[in-house]
Structure formats: C-alpha cells, structure tokens
C-alpha cells in the first residue's frame, strides 16, 4: 500500500483527493491568461519564429556547404570515382538551371566533353569494375548530347548558330580518343540524334570544303579517310556515300568513304585536342 513512499510519490487516492476539479483549473486558466495578456499584451508565440529561423538556418547552411563542395568539385573536375562526383553533377545541373537558354547548348557540349574525358580515364584504368561506371557516364554523355540538341533546336537558338554548334559537337565526337570511340561505336543510339539534326549542316560543310571537321573519323580505320559512326536511322542527307552504304542493319556502320583523312590525321586531331585542353588549363591557372 505504501510502496509509493519509497518512490516519494503520492498514492493515487490521495492524489485524486488533492487534485483540483477540471472546471476550476480551466476557469482559472482563462482568467490567468487574460490577466497575462492584459499585462503583457497580445504576443506572437516566439517559439514559432525560433523554430522557423532554425529550420531556415539549417537549410541555408546545407545549401551553402553543398554548393561550396560542388563548386570545389567542379573546379577540380573530379573523376567519376570520387565521392564528390555526384556533387559535381549536381553543380552542373544548377549551372544549367541558372544559365541563359542561348548558352545551354554550349554548356551541354562542355559537360559532354567532360563525360568523354571521364570515360577515357576509366577506360585507361582497365578495371572490370569500371564497366558499370563507364555505362553510367556514357548515359550521362548521351543525355548531355540529347539535351544540347534539344536546346539547340529550340527557337531561341538562331539558325546561324546551329551549324556552328553542330560542328563543335562533331569536333568533340570526332576528336575523342580511340578508347572513347570504341565505347561510342558500341552505343550507336547516343549519336543517333546528333546525326538526325546535324548531318544536313555537316554534309553541307563537307561539300563546300574538304577540311570540315565532320569528315574526321571515329576510329581511324577505313581507307585513309577515317570512319564515321552512323546508325541505321541516320538522316539520309548525311552524305552521298552514306546513302549508298545504307542498310537495314541496326548496328553502327563504319562509313569509310570520307575525305582523305588517315590515322595520322586522327592522331593529329587528338593531339590538337589535348593541346587545346592544356592551353585551357594553363589559362585557368594563370587566372
């Protein structure tokens, strides 16, 4: 019965006796609070603001930290194996979100270029575990190409700029390393859209002068001209030779009838590309 005293708590019956009636406590509560308001005035519950401020502060800090790290990852151009890589991609998405529509296709190309560079790094490592990573990166690359074409096909993007855009995209694909080209050959769908939209310009360039970048091959094979990747659904305007080579096969074809490029030419292109990248890095370092 008096075990409660060991705990220094009142027994229930006594607690009930000593408890006030509910009506009384509620009545007194109203009186007390009205007297309180009379003295202190109507107040806004401070706790709400404190909580809201804290939540806002946490969100801002989280954004700040994430943004800072993503900028760092972007500057360092971290590889796909880095734990900061998702933040780099996140930073790219943000960059695209805040950039003007006119700039977006170029940004997409820049990011596609990054993806190719990453694939090259992964390929060079020749580790089996990299295959999944390469597939993912190539998927991102494909999405970048697709998005860049979609953005370029937008009405805001002037027709004058579209051929230029196509040429730079072609340059990017054609000057990529043999490793990357191998991956591209294995996944023809990635470049399919590019051909659909850009072939008319590239073939026109090719017709005008033989030194157009579109003539550069993808894998350096073929009869002295380099090889161009082409899917079955490629535009019929691609070029005359393409028409002759067209078949129902959905596998990528090696279009070897282009202007007189050789493997040496491709290597030159690659070297040019590398020099260009080095120059970019040097200028960045100078900045």
Partner 1 sequence: MRIKKAAGWGICNNTRLKSYLFMEFSFEIGKLNRLACRMKKGDSRAAAALYDELAPKVFGFCFSRIRLKHVAEDLTQEIFVKLLEKIDTFDDMKGNFPVWFWRFVRNHLIDYYREKKIQPFSDFSDDVIESASLAHPQRAIDSRLETDRLRAFIGSLDDDEQNLFELRYVAELSYKQIAEIVSKSEGSLRVAASRLKQKIRKNFIS
Contact residues toward partner 1 (CB under 8 A) are: 1-2, 5-6, 8-11, 13-20, 24-25, 28-29, 31-33, 35-37, 39-47, 49-50, 53
Of 59 and 186, which CB lies nearer to partner 1 in the complex structure?
59
> Nearest distance from residue 26's CB to partner 1, in Å?
10
> Nearest distance from residue 59's CB to partner 1, in Å?
16
C-alpha–C-alpha distance, residues 92 and 118, integer Å: 15
Of 28 and 233, which CB lies nearer to partner 1 in the complex structure?
28
Of 32 and 93, which CB lies nearer to partner 1 in the complex structure?
32
Of 46 and 97, which CB lies nearer to partner 1 in the complex structure?
46
In the chain, what is the greatest distance between 2 CA atoms, to the nearest angstrom?
A: 107
> Nearest distance from residue 60's CB to partner 1, in Å?
15
> Nearest distance from residue 78's CB to partner 1, in Å?
37
C-alpha–C-alpha distance, residues 283 and 71, integer Å: 19
Of 26 and 131, which CB lies nearer to partner 1 in the complex structure?
26
> Nearest distance from residue 62's CB to partner 1, in Å?
19
Reference 115, options 144, 152, 94; nearest CA is 144
* Six-digit token string for 43: 């107040």
Of 14 and 281, which CB lies nearer to partner 1 in the complex structure?
14
> Nearest distance from residue 65's CB to partner 1, in Å?
21
> Nearest distance from residue 9's CB to partner 1, in Å?
7
C-alpha–C-alpha distance, residues 187 and 181, integer Å: 10
Of 35 and 127, which CB lies nearer to partner 1 in the complex structure?
35
Of 8 and 209, which CB lies nearer to partner 1 in the complex structure?
8
C-alpha–C-alpha distance, residues 147 and 232, integer Å: 21
> Nearest distance from residue 34's CB to partner 1, in Å?
10
- Give the 3-state secondary structure of the chain: CCHHHHCCCCCHHHHHHHCCCHHHHHHHHHHHHHHHHHHHCCCCCHHHHHHHHHHHHHHHHHHHHHHHHHHHHHHHCCCCCCCCHHHHHHHHHHHHHHCCCCCHHHHHHHHHHHHHHHHHHHHHHCCCCHHHHHHHHHHHHHHHHHHHHHHHCCCCCCCCHHHHHHHHHHHHHHCCCHHHHHHHHHCHHHHHHHHHHHHHHHHHHHHHCCCCHHHCCCCCCCCCCCCEEECCCCCCCCCHHHHHHCCCCCCCEEECCCCCCCHHHHHHHHHHHHHHHHHHHHHHHHC
């Amino acid at each position: 019965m008096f075990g409660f005293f060991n705990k220094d708590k009142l027994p229930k019956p006594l607690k009930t006796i000593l408890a006030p009636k509910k009506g009384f406590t509620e009545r007194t509560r109203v009186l007390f609070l009205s007297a309180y308001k009379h003295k202190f005035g109507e107040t806004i519950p401070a706790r709400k603001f404190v909580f809201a401020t804290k939540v806002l502060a946490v969100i801002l800090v989280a954004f700040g930290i994430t943004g800072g790290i993503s900028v760092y990852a972007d500057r360092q151009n971290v590889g796909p194996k880095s734990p900061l890589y998702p933040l780099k991609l996140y930073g790219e998405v943000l960059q695209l979100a805040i950039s003007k529509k006119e700039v977006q296709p170029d940004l997409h190309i820049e990011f596609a270029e990054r993806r190719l560079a990453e694939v090259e790094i992964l390929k060079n490592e020749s580790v089996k575990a990299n295959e999944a990573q390469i597939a993912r990166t190539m998927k991102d690359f494909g999405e970048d190409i697709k998005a860049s074409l979609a953005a370029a096909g937008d009405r805001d993007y002037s027709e004058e700029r579209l051929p230029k855009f196509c040429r730079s995209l072609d340059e990017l694909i054609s000057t990529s390393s043999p490793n990357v080209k191998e991956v591209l050959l294995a996944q023809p769908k990635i470049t399919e859209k590019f051909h659909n939209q850009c072939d008319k310009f590239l073939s026109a360039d090719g017709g005008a002068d033989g030194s157009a970048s579109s003539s550069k091959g993808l894998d350096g094979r073929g009869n002295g001209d380099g090889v161009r990747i082409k899917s079955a659904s490629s535009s019929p305007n691609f070029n005359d030779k393409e028409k002759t080579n067209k078949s129902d096969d959905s596998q990528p074809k090696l279009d070897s009838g282009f202007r007189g490029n050789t493997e040496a030419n491709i290597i030159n292109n690659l070297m040019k590309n590398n020099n260009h990248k080095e120059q970019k890095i040097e200028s960045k370092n100078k900045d």
